[in-house]
Amino acid sequence: MGERNGLDGKLMTVAEAVKRYVRDGCQIAVGGFTINRNPMALVYEIARRKVRDLHLVAHSNGQALDVLVGAGCVARIEIAYGGNGRFAPTCFRFRKAVEGGEVLVEDYTNNQMTLRFLAGALNTPFIPSKSGLGTDVLQQEGFPPEIRDGDKVARKKVHVMADPFGHADDDVALLPALTPDVSLIHAQQVSTDGTVRIKGLTFADLEQCKAASAVIVTCEEIVPECYLRLDPDQNALPPFLVDAVVPVPYGAHPTACPRFYDYDPKHLNLYKEVAKDDAKWAAYLDEWVYGVESWDAYLDKVGGAQLVRIRANTVAGYAPGLDRR
């Protein structure tokens, strides 16, 4: 395991990381939550490379989900929520794809998806929960029997059984574990030894990374190992869990990265307009994803003044007073 510590062999570009770990048909877990800390630089690269037939697993995902689905990269989705708060009560391309039968979707809840990642991290085949008993979330399957191979798709969505230890009349729902092929997250800092620090909410990022076969972390900055060792209780993931590290400033744009920048209302409003319309959406992908030659070029398109507007206030951690209408 020694070689997995330090950044040697792990430090790479988004193109290298995606090429190495995100293949057609693989199961990917995307971190963040709605408009916060989505690994967007990786998502755009996956779209640019035209990766296909992905099996996306997430809890409450917004922007990353919508771009991946809208770019035609996704065939199957297991998810709790596809929305972007005020900017998309339901994610637009996600909605169109589900209504049009272009993707298969199986619904769970946030608690269930989090627990399923935790089960994967525990290396157990399933985990019990009380969420959703008696509801269609447990009773309605979204995946057809022929793809339920018991490997990356569970043989059944859920199994309800009586508590075998205590009260025999008390039911629990057993949820299948998730072990994604690759987990993508965006963090604020990674140290020179590969330790990851996340500031603010962690959502289910840690569980999904511990459950995955490979972990790609994009980050705002690389910092000295001694700096993250000063407060080890603030660190999220140890180096040996991380396979690829990609420094990408503003790598979560247009979603927020607490203490570095807020979500970008200007871009999310633009997105809202184009994502509703197929022709405008195709043009958006051409302009903002396929036609952008580098991350620098993407940021130039967003514009320096806008990046300053969304820059986080040092004390607040977001951009107070930002016009978010």
Partner 1 sequence: MAPEYNMMELMICVAARYLEDGKTVAVGTGAPCAAAMLAQKTKSPNLVVLFEAGGIAPQLPEMPISVGDSRTFYRAVMAAGMVDTMTTCARGQVDYAFLGGAQIDKYGNINSTCIGDYNKPKVRFPGSGGANDFASLCWKTMIMTVHSKSRFVETCDFITSPGFLTGDGAREAAGLPEGGPYKIITDLCVMGFDEKTKAMTIESLHPGVDVDKVRGETGFDLLVSDQLGRTEPPTEEELRLLRDEVDPLKLVIGRA
- In the region spanning residues 79 to 118, those forming contacts with partner 1, defined by CB under 8 A, are 79-87, 89-91, 94-95, 98-99, 101, 107-112, 114-115, 118
Site string for partner 1, 264-293 (x = CB under 8 A): ------------------------------
- Binding residue for partner 1, selected from 22, 57, 119, 203, defined by CB under 8 A: 203
Collapsing DSSP states into helix, strand and coil, what is residue 75? strand
- We find the least distance from the C-beta atom of residue 118 to partner 1, in angstroms, to be 7
Which residues 117-176 are close enough to bind partner 1 by CB under 8 A? 118, 130-137, 140, 142, 160, 170-173
Map residues 210-239 to x or -, x wherever contact with partner 1 holds by CB under 8 A.
------------------------------
**C-alpha span between 107 and 101 (Å, rounded):** 15
- Is residue 21 within 8 A of residue 182, CB to CB? The reply is yes
Rounded Cα distance, 318 and 265, in Å? 13
Asked if 303 and 309 count as a contact pair (C-beta separation under 8 A), the reply is: no
Task: Check: CB of residue 204 under 8 Å from CB of residue 156.
Answer: no
Instruction: Tell me if residue 172 falls in helix, strand or coil.
Output: strand
Closer residue to partner 1 in complex, CB, 10/95: 95
Cis peptide before 180 (omega within 30 of 0): no
Q: How far is the CB of 318 from partner 1 (least distance, A)?
A: 4
Q: List 237's β-bridge partners, or say none.
A: 196
In angstroms, give the least distance from the CB of 294 to partner 1. 27
Residue pair 59/80 in contact by the 8 Å Cβ criterion: yes
**CA atoms of 284 and 273, how far apart (whole Å):** 10
Identify which of residues 111 and 192 has a Cβ nearer to partner 1 in the complex. Answer: 111
Binding of residue 70 to partner 1 (CB under 8 A): no
Distances in Å between the alpha carbon of 91 and those of 68, 87, 206, 218? 11, 9, 24, 24
Stretch that binds partner 1, among 2-10, 41-49, 196-204, 224-232 (CB under 8 A): 196-204
The single residue among 62, 72, 120, 254 that binds partner 1, judged by CB under 8 A, is 62
Shortest Cβ 21–partner 1 spacing (Å): 24
Answer for which of 60, 179, 191, 195 binds partner 1 (CB under 8 A) is 60
Q: Which of residues 245-264 bind partner 1 (CB under 8 A)?
A: 256, 258, 262-263
Segment (H or E) for 139: helix 136-139
Contact string 290-319 vs partner 1 (x = CB under 8 A) = ----------------------x---xxx-
3-state secondary structure 224-239: CHHHHHHCHHHCCECH
CB of 222 to partner 1, least distance (A): 22
